[in-house]
Chains A and B, each alone.
Chain A
Amino acid sequence: MNRLPNFLAAIALVLAAFLCAAPSARAQTLDETLARFATDRFPDTARAVEEIARSGHPMALEIVEALTDGRLAWRPSDRRLYVIGADGATRAAETGKAEPDSEAAGLRRVRVNNPVRQTIAAALGVLRLNSADPGQRRVAAEAIMQSRDATQAPALEAALGRERDARVATAITLALAALRVVDPAQPESVRLAAIDALAERGSRDALVLLRSIPADAPAAIRARAERAAAGVERHLAILGGIQNLFFGLSLGSVLLLAAIGLAITFGVMGIINMAHGEMVMLGAYTTFVVQEVLRAHAPSLFDWSLLFALPLAFLVSGSVGIAIERTIIRYLYGRPLETLLATWGVSLALQQAVRTIFGSSNREVGNPAFMTGSFDLFGIALTWSRLWIVVFTIAVFAFLLFVIRYTDFGLRMRAVVQNRAMAGSVGIRTNWIDAFTFGLGSGIAGIAGVALSQIDNVSPNLGQGYIIDSFMVVVFGGVGSLWGTLVAALSLGVANKLLEPVAGAVLGKIAILVFIILFIQKRPRGLFAQKGRTAES
């Protein structure tokens, strides 16, 4: 590259920067436009975005997109513009040709601020409206609707004229409606139609538009908008309710997952295991270890990591549970308060052990592909990880019910719980049933840890966060009743999420705690209490 063009470009830039202040700048070439990006001044950048959007340049969309992501850069020495790919490769902005020899280190990123971002949004709108990809065009129409930039109306009208895709056409119609409804220049009939179109869409942005009809608009328009807004609000309230319900169910299933092992050890066996949370934590760390091993030796299997982690976590937590039962708890049967203290000691030791091995900071546990991202259901955004956890929880619950009801082990377990002496005398080895039942509860907690590693920080304190909630769930549901635990967890989850918008997250949680405490006063044996003389002791 010779020096003269650089020199000229520099002069042009200085001129451009100078002219920028004066609104009369005309007759730009593409070079000038691109050069504006390299002045490091926000007004220039904004203008450059507008210009390039109108230019019809084949690289225009790519340049503006790069700018949004902070991948547009310029070289201070010659003020040439580069697009940096997601992989780090640089290409010349003007030509789109790869220029691998340009050192990325010397490049400076083009900065943006909020006014520039608005300009970008509008520009992207226009650019994408012309995209070959219908999905892009739809996104563009929606972006224009958001931007409420009246100057885009002609571009929309033009786009609507040539649009073949029905969904994209709807989106464009809506965007047009959004622009027209607040535009006093439009005839009343057009604006009324726009209101109807918005009302049909029924989204929050539509509501904002309907509410923003200026007070000086004709009475008919205002009245129609008022009615439409009320309708949209109702619609949104219902959607919001459904969304909260889902969030509540999701939280409830997390609670259930954490509590379900406890429903066995505490609920069925009556062992108060304060190290229950640590069984969950061990499950989460098992997931971490499995992922580390897979990353190192078989990266292609990473998406299957949870599948490997589940049985391992069950084994790890289950065998730790059995070890605790055999070495400590069995000597303390019939002394619940002592069991509480001893298992608290176990929990401290386990936490410290994990802290010593893995460090006290959070460990990164990745989400496999199927757990990442979200999807849209009737206008409600749901994350896959939450949905899978609900599904998973149901599966675990069903598994547990199956084990207890239909397996030989479950039969023996129930026999021991109901009448230990009789079970012993018909040849059941009650002490091993105790150990394995405790192991089952602990193993289930480990499985819960696998799931919770996907949505919570994996740290030595992970279990502590769940222990009080878990006990509350089991006690609230009624000790000894698995279904009670299910109902309790789900209803507490939903109640918590319904309270959150009203009272805030912390107050909501406190309110729930206080409610359970009062509830236990009234019904000390929980929702699904077992009545009778045997339950009295």
Chain B
Amino acid sequence: MIVQRLAGRLGLSERIFVAVVVALCVLVPLANLVFPPGSPFHVSNASVVLYGKWMTYALLALSLDLVWGYCGILSLGHGAFFALGGYAMGMYLMRSIGTRGVYGNAILPDFMVFLNWKELPYAWYFFDWFGYAMLMVMFVPGLLAFVLGWFAFRSRVTGVYLSIITQAVTFALQLSFFRNDMGFGGNNGLTDFKDLLGFPVQAQSTRAVLFALSALALLGGFAIAKAIVSSKLGLVLIAIRDAETRTRFLGYRVERFKLFVFVVSAVMAGIAGALYVPQVGIINPSEFSPANSIEAVIWVAVGGRGTLTGAALGAVLVNASKTWLTAALPTLWLFVLGALFILVTLFLPKGIVGTLGAWFADRRGKP
């Protein structure tokens, strides 16, 4: 029933989006597994991983759009939530290596043996249980978002101040994760994963399934985001974005609404990170880099903030260009990215989907 209600509210671009993601979810793994290499329908293993990565980026963009596009909170720390989810997944993957590591230690991951540690740090307890690890994938980013949001929103830190704070937090996290003493592999991060729930992470079939899961997660994230923004709560979020003080004088506790959507969004970003890590095979502190977080912002801006499909589309478009350009003209990519930031904010503030949407609405309005 909820699905029906939701489906009824979908606009054109949203219907197309759902159809495309569902199709990809089925077709990409099929094309990879069923058609042999050389067949025109074959999708290479490398492409499956690449597309899977884009799906997780799209989910990250979706989560960012939820807070920025709908509630006006420009978080420059979503990369941190993404990375924290990734680390939680990475810790599970490390623990499940077991005795197959270089040092063959059943409990301690290789890097701890290398650092001459004798005991597993408390933070790593229970991460051998998949269920617990998945709980942490959501809980840790959610908790960070809750604590950060609790303080920031209550003290009414808004606008660029909030952006700078989220960036500083991300930076502080990056510095901490670089330290070996933190117990998360320091500089090198977590890597050399063997298997996920018994399935080898490098295997073609596992990767195909991971892609499908990423696509499903994107759909799930979209459904949740859509449910939120089309509810009355969604109206409140946009109200906060457009006139925060007015919303407060209507009796809404702005900080609680912000906190809610910030935490939901952080959890979504964490899930995206958790799906990202087994596909790329590594998670290290560079994922916390403030530049990553702000790059995710431009995906949303390109696609169109305040449109869920735009965020996802922007993530895929920008990353596809990045993949293509860094291979073809590596020195050009940063110029292009820089130009994107400038041109989109100056000339395409609504993004692709937002601009197209306005154009269609205009045309329908005229005749």
Any A–B CB pair closer than 8 Å: yes
A residues lining the B interface (CB < 8 Å): 272, 328, 331-332, 336-342, 344-353, 355-356, 464, 468, 471-472, 475, 506-507, 509-510, 513-514, 516-518, 520-522, 524
In the bound complex, how far is the Cα of B342 from the Cα of A337, in angstroms?
12
CB pair A336–B160 under 8 Å, yes or no, is: yes
A-B interface, 10 closest residue pairs, ranked by CB to CB distance from nearest: A345-B341, A349-B338, A348-B338, A352-B334, A345-B342, A345-B338, A521-B155, A513-B172, A521-B151, A342-B345
Nearest Cβ on chain A to B160's Cβ, whole angstroms: 5
Contacts of A350 in B (CB 8 A): 338
CB pair A472–B334 under 8 Å, yes or no, is: no
7 other A-B residue contacts (CB within 8 Å) besides A272-B160, A337-B74, A341-B345:
A272-B164, A336-B160, A344-B294, A475-B161, A506-B175, A510-B176, A513-B168
Contact check: which of A337, A352, A355 meets B159 at CB < 8 Å?
A337
Nearest Cβ on chain A to B279's Cβ, whole angstroms: 26
Contacts of B342 in A (CB 8 A): 328, 342, 345-346, 349
CB-based nearest B residue for A338 = B345
CB pair B338–A341 under 8 Å, yes or no, is: no
In the bound complex, how far is the Cα of B335 from the Cα of A533, in angstroms?
42
CB pair B168–A340 under 8 Å, yes or no, is: no
Known contacts A468-B290, A524-B155; is A345 also within 8 Å of B164 by CB?
no
Contact check: which of A344, A464, A475 meets B341 at CB < 8 Å?
A344
Contacts of A464 in B (CB 8 A): 291
B residues lining the A interface (CB < 8 Å): 74, 151-152, 154-157, 159-161, 163-165, 167-169, 171-172, 175-176, 178-179, 290-291, 294, 297-298, 301, 331, 334-335, 337-342, 344-346, 349
In the bound complex, how far is the Cα of B67 from the Cα of A337, in angstroms?
13
CB pair A332–B345 under 8 Å, yes or no, is: yes
In the bound complex, how far is the Cα of B345 from the Cα of A497, in angstroms?
40
Nearest Cβ on chain B to A94's Cβ, whole angstroms: 52
CB-based nearest B residue for A522 = B155
Interface of B, secondary structure class, is helix
5 residue pairs bridging A and B, Cβ less than 8 Å apart: A340-B74, A345-B340, A355-B334, A472-B168, A506-B179
Contacts of A468 in B (CB 8 A): 164, 167-168, 171, 290
CB pair A331–B334 under 8 Å, yes or no, is: no
CB pair A356–B168 under 8 Å, yes or no, is: no
Contact check: which of A342, A475, A518, A520 meets B346 at CB < 8 Å?
A342
Contacts of B290 in A (CB 8 A): 468
Contact check: which of A337, A339, A347, A356 meets B331 at CB < 8 Å?
A356
Nearest Cβ on chain B to A470's Cβ, whole angstroms: 10
In the bound complex, how far is the Cα of B331 from the Cα of A355, in angstroms?
9
CB pair B157–A520 under 8 Å, yes or no, is: yes
Contacts of B168 in A (CB 8 A): 468, 471-472, 513, 516-517
Nearest Cβ on chain B to A163's Cβ, whole angstroms: 52
CB pair A520–B161 under 8 Å, yes or no, is: yes
Contacts of A272 in B (CB 8 A): 160, 163-164
CB-based nearest B residue for A513 = B172
In the bound complex, how far is the Cα of B238 from the Cα of A290, in angstroms?
53
Known contacts A349-B335, A349-B338; is A331 also within 8 Å of B164 by CB?
no
In the bound complex, how far is the Cα of B159 from the Cα of A475, in angstroms?
13
Nearest Cβ on chain B to A478's Cβ, whole angstroms: 12
Known contacts A341-B301, A342-B345, A521-B151; is A506 also within 8 Å of B178 by CB?
yes
Contact check: which of B165, B291, B339 meets A517 at CB < 8 Å?
B165
In the bound complex, how far is the Cα of B173 from the Cα of A514, in angstroms?
10
CB pair A331–B335 under 8 Å, yes or no, is: no
CB pair A349–B339 under 8 Å, yes or no, is: yes
Nearest Cβ on chain A to B113's Cβ, whole angstroms: 23
Chain A CB count within 10 A is highest, among B164, B168, B337, for B164
CB pair A348–B334 under 8 Å, yes or no, is: yes
Known contacts A338-B349, A506-B176; is A351 also within 8 Å of B334 by CB?
yes
Contacts of A351 in B (CB 8 A): 334
Chain B CB count within 10 A is highest, among A332, A345, A349, A475, for A345
